[in-house]
Amino acid sequence: MNAVLDRILSTETVTDGTITLPLRHPEHPSLPVHIDAAEGLFLGDIIRKVEAATTLEVGMAYGVSTLYICDALASLGHPVNHIVMDPFQSTMWRGIGLHNVREARYTSIVEFYEARSEFVLPQLVQHGRTVDFALIDGWHTFDQVMVEFYYIDRLLRPGGVVAFDDADRRGVNRAVRYAMTYPNYEVYPSPKPAPAVSMAGRARRALGRLPRIDRIVRRDVLNRDWDLGILGSCVALRKTREAPRASSWYRDF
């Protein structure tokens, strides 16, 4: 862990170089503004295992997740690039995320856009960019996360991984469940242990195998999050292959 990240986590403060602020949301102090150490290590492990060259992050805030990602990239020993977008970096976040990137000496590998993801991501697709890992951690409404996943799916190479932070929030959770209906995505194993399967869980799984059962019972009733392997607040999915879908394609979620 680089010294800047270690200082932020140990003091629970951030600075723009002139003033020091507590490590919390400036407008909603009860909301988390950064991934925790376990999640940071989880993301770093993914990046190393996929031997990422180009990574992407939606939402920077104070730059904690950015530093975790850059730490992992810097350990790989080959040319790397991290694409980050945050439309509120210089306003709500006072430029602190970028300040931390500069202080940690990662400026050369960070490609930053102070613009909304729904504008940046289509441009990256249009320019033929590809990524090996992506973190979605911006505005947490269902529609916003789905727009971001749609374009990231276009950017992500087969074998790459997309992670969703705050996946325990309803909007993000539903977006993850929908992404999991794609025929070319599977859950990336989480370090969080799965709970033991109860008798009710076994009954749900058996019921889910019946033909056309989802016409009678909703898919989210048949398959709970833990049945699908969606565990904790940070969930990752691996893209197994390219899989074009017909215009009539739909799967319940």
13-35: pLDDT as tens digits? 999 989 999 888 887 777 778 88
What's the CA gap between 89 and 98, in Å, rounded?
8
pLDDT at position 192 is 66
What's the CA gap between 195 and 229, in Å, rounded?
10
* 66 and 110 Cβ atoms separated by less than 8 Å: yes
C-alpha dist (Å) from residue 95 to 63, 88, 225: 10, 9, 36
Three-class DSSP labels, 20-42? EEECCCCCCCCCCCCCCHHHHHH
Question: At the topology level of CATH, where does 3-194+229-239 sit?
Answer: Rossmann fold (3.40.50)
Residues of the chain with pLDDT under 70: 192-202, 204-205, 207-208, 210, 213-215, 217-224, 226-227
Q: Which of the 8 DSSP states describes residue 107?
A: G
Report the SS3 class of residue 82.
Answer: strand
pLDDT at position 24 is 87
* 216 and 250 Cβ atoms separated by less than 8 Å: no
User: Model pTM?
Assistant: 0.88
Report the SS3 class of residue 243.
Answer: coil
pLDDT at position 219 is 64
Phi, psi dihedral angles at 158 (to 5 degrees): -55, 135
Instruction: Characterize the bridge pairing of strands 54-58 and 20-22.
Output: unpaired
pLDDT at position 231 is 79
pLDDT at position 244 is 85
Phi, psi dihedral angles at 182 (to 5 degrees): -60, 140
Query: Which residues pair with residue 111 across a beta bridge?
Result: 83
pLDDT at position 220 is 65
